[in-house]
């Protein structure tokens, strides 16, 4: 609290630093406030998540703790390569999954027998946390750890003794590897997954963290250091308060609704800022099948604007492969992404502008402070003045598509609604360009390119006198959009591109499309499935998009849902991922494939909502005659589907011949009278 009480003095001193004497006192802090360590954390903005462990080698997202430690055997592990990649990508730190839900420890823990010590890696003498923490120090990165309290391996899990064992494990990690900038927790619990129940002693866990690493930011659904955004798609709320009401809530199933986590609470009692976690691949752990599914630069850039650009830090997961190295596809994409962001914000077009404010607190808080790069220099209005406008007059008309704002959050988050207008020289009037609600540490508005010389920011609503520290105008890189593909039930593939007048080229043999590939001119038939790769080009092929890759199974043209006898159930096989079948929980989904096929796997596409009653555990059976059934997957699991509801591809241990397929929901992400299926598909290739 001493730090927070000194804010007023610091603000007054700041006026002297700016070459003038403040003629009024600085604004009083308002509402919940960040600690000094939370401010340091917020300035980081962007850092790397690394999921690595037995799951990397078993091709699953959530291991069950029964895996043989011998599966963990990276052949060329190099933590310096991870750190060098993060540094080159512009990231400020790395958080590693030191212990995931399977209980496997990436260091030789004295409190577990499921560790690197029991693996063949380095003959059981390795310590991955040591190697990574040393690499982070070498490259000037901060080091963070994720330890899951859920442990499917430890025999004490589910007993009163386990909480102290987990605290001992925390203590072990937090005392051996230097400074930890963030301790990452989630609320995953065995009881929520039909396993052992453990009532976590969160006060004990937090005390252990703060005793050893008082500067550490503790992440969970409700903090206390920072909070989850309620999804794993990289999207923070357009309204995003750094304040949250945490009384009566807890991590995991006890957390507030996802919508609340996504937006925070206006005038929340605790300062719990947002952290947006998302993976560069479809899953969190490496899988060879996702090598061609690394997010595009356009997707990553969209995530940047919907996370960092919406008052959130970005934690981007980049999972090392089975060698123990970041795959070239991921690394190259990170560098391409950094280049786009660097180019987009290299020149602030507001420099040289004249700023005029409708209200100013006094000489020490002049509006020209917004043009300085010193975060601690700010503009403010008088107490009680909750609305204001700032006009920006550029030396000449400029073309721009991004508008950046920052609040001075050491004094609290205040702005609740604002608008940006541009002056139209033809009509001699202001025209609305964009509008928003919250600002926080950083807000970036995105809109189509516009050319103007005069811009106006209007703060329409604030909880206390507004306090801004920066305004910026930028002309960001604009993309030629990646082609989108859709295939109907009959197997006809249609391609589109939202960019104007592109030419689309595609391949069907897995090769990289070029201007010499097949030119898309009309929908084409692909009933047997396969891999389609496509690229868009304009300006005589001088400008091109990134490559889109889609794998299709056999088209469901001949399929029929025979149970349940409900017309809505047909949505599960209509070839449209945006339609959803709602099926009674007690009824398996039984499909007649129309002919005998040799199946190599299937795909379940859930409803793309974290609050949907999607299938978590399932049974899959097949039949040749709809009488005698063979169970292919007696206890299948779609891990992490509640938080990351994306298509779930399942490869069978061996091919099976069948005409009928039956999917039975055993457990749902949200229990209820129905479960949801957006699409079911099968692979024969």
Residue pLDDT, tens place only, 499-545 = 778 999 999 999 999 999 999 999 999 999 999 999 999 987 788 99
How much is the pLDDT for 22?
58
Give the span between the Cα atoms of 472 and 453, in whole angstroms. 14
391 and 410 share one domain: yes
- Give the mean pLDDT of 475-483: 92
- The three-state DSSP-derived secondary structure of 380-423 is ECCCCCCCEEEEEEEEEEEEEEEEEEEECHHHCCCEEEEEEEEE
Tell whether 76 and 106 lie within a shared domain.
yes
Same-domain status, 308 and 453: no
- CA pair distance 352, 190, nearest whole angstrom: 59
CA 512, CA 535: separation in Å to the nearest integer? 9
Mean pLDDT, range 634-655, rounded to an integer: 90
Query: Does residue 36 lie within any of the structural domains?
Result: no
> Residue 6: its pLDDT value, please?
38
Show the tokens assigned to 276: 């947006």
Pairing label, strands 226-228, 388-407: unpaired
H helix or E strand, kind and range, residue 589: strand 589-605
Q: Give tens-digit pLDDT for 373-426.
A: 899 999 999 999 999 999 999 999 999 999 999 999 999 999 999 999 999 999
- Specify the pLDDT at position 473: 98
What is the pTM for the complete model shown? Answer: 0.89
Tally of CB atoms within 10 A around 517: 18
**Same domain for 580 and 463:** no
Residues of the chain above pLDDT 90, percent: 88
Dihedral sign (CA 656, 660, 666, 667): positive
CATH number, domain containing residue 251: 3.20.20.80
Any idea what the CATH number is for the domain that residue 8 is in? 2.60.120.260
**Residue 547, token pair as written in the block:** 């490559």
Question: End of a domain among 445, 474, 503?
Answer: 474
Residue 39 lies in a domain: no
Whether 231 is covered by a domain: the verdict is: yes
Tell me the residue length of the chain.
Answer: 685
Residues 622 and 546 in one domain: no
Q: Are residues 374 and 495 in the same domain?
A: no
| Number of domains composing the chain | 4
Q: What is the pLDDT of residue 566?
A: 84
Contact 465, 386 (CB under 8 A): yes
**Does residue 73 sit in the same domain as residue 171?**
yes
- Together in a domain, 332 and 361: no
Pair 275, 406 in one domain: no
Within a domain: 38: no
- Model confidence pLDDT, tens digit, residues 148-159: 999 999 999 999
Residue 244 has pLDDT above 80, yes or no: yes
pLDDT (mean) for 646-653:
91
Give the pLDDT score at 2.
Answer: 38
Q: Are residues 517 and 451 in the same domain?
A: no
Q: Which of 633, 651, 557, 650 is nearest to 595 (CA)?
A: 557
- Residue 337 and residue 240 share a domain: yes
Domain-ending residue, one of 474, 509, 543: 474
pLDDT(12) > 70: no
Residues 517 and 580 in one domain: no
Taking all residues of the chain, what is their mean pLDDT, rounded to a whole number? Answer: 94
pLDDT tens-digit map of 355-385: 999 999 998 999 999 998 899 999 999 999 9
Q: How far apart are CA 203 and CA 11, in angstroms?
A: 35
Q: Residue 215 pLDDT more than 90?
A: yes
The predicted structure's pLDDT at residue 539: 81
Q: Which of 403, 474, 475 is nearest to 439 (CA)?
A: 403
Q: Is the pLDDT of residue 682 over 60?
A: yes
Q: Which domain, by its residues, includes 574? A: 560-683
Within a domain: residue 363?
Answer: yes
Find the helix or strand (DSSP H, E) in which 134 lies: helix 128-138
Residue 52 has pLDDT above 90, yes or no: yes
Residue written as token pair 């591109």: 497
When pLDDT is averaged across residues 603-631 and rounded to a whole number, the result is 95
Mutual orientation of helices 79-88 and 128-138 as an angle, nearest 10°? 40
Give the domain-ending residue among 343, 362, 397: 343
> Quick one: CA dihedral 515, 521, 526, 532, positive or negative?
positive
What pLDDT sits at residue 10?
44
| CA separation for the pair 631, 619 (Å, rounded) | 7
- Residue 1's pLDDT is 35
Nearest to 380 by CA among 350, 353, 414: 414
**Per-residue pLDDT, 500:** 72
In the predicted model, what is the mean pLDDT of residues 274-298? 95
Q: Would residue 111 count as lying in a domain? A: yes
Q: Is residue 164, in this structure, part of any structural domain at all?
A: yes
Q: State the angle between helix axes of 79-88 and 328-344 in degrees (0 to 180), rounded to the nearest 10.
A: 20
Residue 35 counted as domain residue: no
Give every CB contact of residue 5 below 8 A, 6+ residues apart in sequence.
none
pLDDT band of 16, cuts 50, 70, 90? very low
Over the stretch 177-211, which tens digit does the pLDDT of each residue have?
A: 999 999 999 988 988 777 788 999 999 999 999 99
Residue in the block written with tokens 């030191």: 98
């Amino acid at each position: 609290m001493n730090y927070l009480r000194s804010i007023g003095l610091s603000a007054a001193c700041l006026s002297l630093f700016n070459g003038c004497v403040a003629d009024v006192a600085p604004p009083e802090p308002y509402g919940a406030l960040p600690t000094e360590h939370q401010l340091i954390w917020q300035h980081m903005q962007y850092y790397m998540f690394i999921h690595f462990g037995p799951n990397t080698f078993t091709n699953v997202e959530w291991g069950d703790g029964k895996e043989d430690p011998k599966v963990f055997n990276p052949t060329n592990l190099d933590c310096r390569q991870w750190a060098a990649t993060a540094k080159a990508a512009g990231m400020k730190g790395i958080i590693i999954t030191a212990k995931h839900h399977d209980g496997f420890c990436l260091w030789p823990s004295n409190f577990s027998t499921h560790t690197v010590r029991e693996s063949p890696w380095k003959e059981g003498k390795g310590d991955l946390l040591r190697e990574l923490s040393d690499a982070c120090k070498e490259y000037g990165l901060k080091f963070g750890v994720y330890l899951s309290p859920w442990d499917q391996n430890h025999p004490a899990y589910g007993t009163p003794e386990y909480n102290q064992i987990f605290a001992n494990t925390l203590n072990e990690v937090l005392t051996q590897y230097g400074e930890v900038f963030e301790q990452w927790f989630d609320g995953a619990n065995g009881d929520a997954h039909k396993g052992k129940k453990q009532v976590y002693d969160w006060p004990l866990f937090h005390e252990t963290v703060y005793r050893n690493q008082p500067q550490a930011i503790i992440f969970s659904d409700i903090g206390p250091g920072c909070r989850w955004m309620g999804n794993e798609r990289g999207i923070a709320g357009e309204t995003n308060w750094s304040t949250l009401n945490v009384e009566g809530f807890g991590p995991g199933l006890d957390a507030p609704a996802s919508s609340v986590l996504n937006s925070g609470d206006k005038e929340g009692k605790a300062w719990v800022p947002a952290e947006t976690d998302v993976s560069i691949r479809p899953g969190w752990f490496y899988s060879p099948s996702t090598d061609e599914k690394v997010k595009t630069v356009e997707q990553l850039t969209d995530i940047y604007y919907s996370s960092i650009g919406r008052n959130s830090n970005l934690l981007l997961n980049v999972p090392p492969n089975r060698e123990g190295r970041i795959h070239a596809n991921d690394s190259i994409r990170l560098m391409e992404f950094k280049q786009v962001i660097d180019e987009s914000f290299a020149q602030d077009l507001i420099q040289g502008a004249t700023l005029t404010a409708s209200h100013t607190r006094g000489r020490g808080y002049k509006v020209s402070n917004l043009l300085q790069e010193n975060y601690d220099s700010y503009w403010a209005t008088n107490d009680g003045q909750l609305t204001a406008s700032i006009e920006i007059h550029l030396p000449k008309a400029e073309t721009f598509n991004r508008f950046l704002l920052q609040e001075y959050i050491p004094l609290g988050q205040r702005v609740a609604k604002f608008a940006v207008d541009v002056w139209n020289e033809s009509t001699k009037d202001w025209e609305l360009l964009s509008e928003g609600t919250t600002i926080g540490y950083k807000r970036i508005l995105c809109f189509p390119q516009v050319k103007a010389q005069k811009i106006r920011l209007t703060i329409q609503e604030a909880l206390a006198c507004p306090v801004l520290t920066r305004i910026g105008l930028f002309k960001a890189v604009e993309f030629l959009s990646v082609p989108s593909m859709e295939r109907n039930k009959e197997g006809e593939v249609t391609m589109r591109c939202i960019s104007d007048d592109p030419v689309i080229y595609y391949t069907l043999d897995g090769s990289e499309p070029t201007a010499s590939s097949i030119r898309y001119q009309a929908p084409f038939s692909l009933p047997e499935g396969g891999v389609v790769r496509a690229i868009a080009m304009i300006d005589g092929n001088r400008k091109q998009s990134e490559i889109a890759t889609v794998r299709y199974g056999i088209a469901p043209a001949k399929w029929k849902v025979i149970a349940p006898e409900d017309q809505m159930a047909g949505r599960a096989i209509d070839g449209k991922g945006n339609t959803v079948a709602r099926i009674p929980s007690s009824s398996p989904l039984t499909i007649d494939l129309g002919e005998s096929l040799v199946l190599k796997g299937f795909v379940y596409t859930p409803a793309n909502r974290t609050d949907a009653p999607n299938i978590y555990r399932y049974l899959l059976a097949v039949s040749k005659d709809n009488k005698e059934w063979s169970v292919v997957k007696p206890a299948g699991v779609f891990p992490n589907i509640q938080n990351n509801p994306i298509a779930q591809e399942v490869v069978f241990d061996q091919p099976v011949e069948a005409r009928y397929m039956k999917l039975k929901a055993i457990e749902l992400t949200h229990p209820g009278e129905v479960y949801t299926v957006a699409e079911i598909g099968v692979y024969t290739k």
